[in-house]
Amino acid sequence: MFSYHNFVYNNGSYLLKSKKTGVVILGAFFILFGVLFFTLIFKSPIGAFLGGTAFFLFGFFCIAAAFTKLIFNKTAQTIERTGILSYLNKHYHFNDFIRIETVRIYTNFIYTRTAVNLRFKNPESPDKSDLLTIASLRTSKQVEQFIHEFHQITGLNNEELKQNGQSLSLERNESEK
């Protein structure tokens, strides 16, 4: 068994490591700020209600995101995202995996981070695909290490991904004719 930087082994599956402390503190701050809006008397009670509700909900969603787990089950060959909000839970099989994507994100023309996405075939509609964002990293070294660990855990390597991508594009070209 290998020791990974981004994943931890737990009961036959790999969990994506997450830093919960900062997000929970941020969420608690926004919830308290929302409660403060509800308790103070403002000139506009509607504005206080809307502001308090917005801060409270933002804090709740921060805490819900902190307790979301991404599970890579190698024996069942599945990827699951589970969390507090059950309607956001996802379940994918390795056979539905199309490719891994990295998206560089800029804010005001300044590089801020790179998002790592997984693209899966959608079983309901063959023309569409599902996107699952699994990480947000800052340096190219972190991105390369994460992708390398992902390939080791899932058993997919770059050559298989290229072949899957080529066969997918060939299927699309044949269907267009």
Of 1, 5, 2, 33, which is closest to residue 19 (Cα–Cα)? 5
**Using CA atoms, how far apart are residues 59 and 53, in angstroms rounded to an integer?**
10
Q: Which pLDDT band, with edges at 50, 70 and 90, does 157 fall under?
A: low
Looking at every residue in the chain, the average pLDDT score rounds to 83
Give the pLDDT confidence of 105-148 residue by residue, as tens digits. 999 999 999 999 999 888 788 788 888 888 888 888 999 999 99
**What pLDDT is stored for residue 56 in this prediction?**
93
Spatial distance between the Cα atoms of 112 and 104, rounded to a whole number of angstroms: 8
| d(C-alpha 72, C-alpha 154), whole Å | 8
116 forms beta bridges with 102, 135
- What would the 3-class secondary structure string for 20-72 be? HHHHHHHHHHHHHHHHHHHHCCCCCHHHHHHHHHHHHHHHHHHHHHHCCEEEE
Contact in structure between 115 and 102 (CB atoms under 8 Å): yes
Check residue 156 and give its pLDDT. Answer: 67
Rounded percentage of the chain residues whose pLDDT exceeds 70: 86
Q: Is 23 in contact with 66 (CB distance < 8 Å)?
A: yes
pLDDT for residue 84 is more than 50: yes
One-letter identity of residue 160: E
- Dihedral sign for Cα atoms in the order 21, 23, 24, 29: positive
Q: What is the mean pLDDT of residues 49-76?
A: 91
Comparing 176 with 48, which gets the higher pLDDT?
48
